[in-house]
Amino acid sequence: MIVILLVFSVSKLWSQDPNSFKTFFDEPKPVEDRNFKIPLIGDTAPSFTAESTNGKIKFPSDFGSSWKILFSHPQDFTPVCSTELIELANIQSEFDKMNVKLIAISTDRLDTHEQWKKAMEGLLYKDQKTINITFPLVADVDLSVSKKYGMIHPESNTTRDVRGVFIIDPKNTIRAIYFYPKEVGRNTDELLRMVTALEKTSSEQVMTPANWKAGDDVLIPTIPKTGATQEELASEGIYKLSWFMWYKKAK
């Protein structure tokens, strides 16, 4: 009786779809939700507390009323990211003059961050002098920061950060976002230019044209009031290329 019952049960299993046999014996595997929302321009920057090469930091409160650039790396000791950190350290003084704070994030451990930092500070990159990396490298082993900033993407085949950049103003509002492929290095001069442009537009209520650099003329967002003479406009440094493109001379 027992033998007959066993044969019947196995036969029933094999008579079904082949996948049912696999499902019967295999334990179900949990599927990780990787659809993490990326905070958008105009959103308040998500806050976090984490260990870093500069000690424990509370972001953004520890950085006061400054501009902040938060950028992520997929892994320590990656060659592209190493060049970026060195280049950022090379122009650290320029960011300091503008009261811009830099914060780097990677999902590796703090001790690995320390080793990576030490290795980079000993390199003679592009025949330049050795550098000191004074901005913090944040350890995000549990991915909590990366998830808050949407830096783990569904299309990525690992839990490593994608290469994101968030520029955040003194009011802790996100003002610009970039994402880069792992094989192309970020342009550090563009990050500096972007913050310069954002500071300019915020303080003077103007806009910047394509390829704008500090010292170039700017665009004004509204057409000057009707009735103003060319002389009056010129006295204010205002001129136009067309009725829809009004400029203001750089001060």
Residue 122 or residue 9, greater confidence: 122
Q: Examine residue 15 and state whether it is found in any structural domain, yes or no.
A: no
Report for 9-13, 210-214, 224-228: range of highest mean pLDDT? 210-214
Task: Answer yes or no: do 110 and 163 share one domain.
Answer: yes
Same domain, 116 and 148: yes
Residues 227 and 158 in one domain: no
Mean pLDDT of 54-79: 94
**Full residue range of the structural domain in which residue 236 is found:** 205-248
Residues 146 and 225 in one domain: no
Provide the greatest CA pair distance for the chain.
109
Confidence check: pLDDT of 192 > 90: yes
3-class state of residue 77 by DSSP? coil
Tell me how far apart the alpha carbons of residues 217 and 209 are, in angstroms, rounded to a whole number. 8
Q: Are residues 80 and 157 in the same domain?
A: yes
Q: How do beta strands 67-73 and 57-59 pair?
A: unpaired
Q: What is the pTM of this model?
A: 0.81
193 in a structural domain? no
Backbone angles phi, psi at 197, to 5 degrees: -65, -40
On the question of pLDDT at 11 being above 50, the answer is no
Assess whether 139 carries a catalytic annotation.
no
Residues with Cβ within 8 Å of 9's Cβ and at least 6 positions away in sequence, in order, are: none
In this structure, the answer to whether residues 88 and 212 fall within a common structural domain is no
Q: Are residues 239 and 116 in the same domain?
A: no
The whole-angstrom separation of Cα 203 and Cα 217 is: 15
Residue-wise pLDDT tens digits, 143-169: 899 889 988 766 655 656 678 999 999
In Å, how far from its chain's centre is CA 235?
A: 42
Statement: residue 3 has pLDDT above 50? no
Angle at 138 between CA 61 and CA 54, to 5 degrees: 70
Tally of domains in the chain: 2
Q: Is the peptide bond before 28 cis (omega within 30 degrees of 0)?
A: no
Local structure of 24: helix, strand or coil: helix
Sign of the CA dihedral running 51, 53, 55, 58: negative
Please say which residue of 140, 156, 186 terminates a domain: 186
Catalytic residue among 81, 100, 162, 174: 81
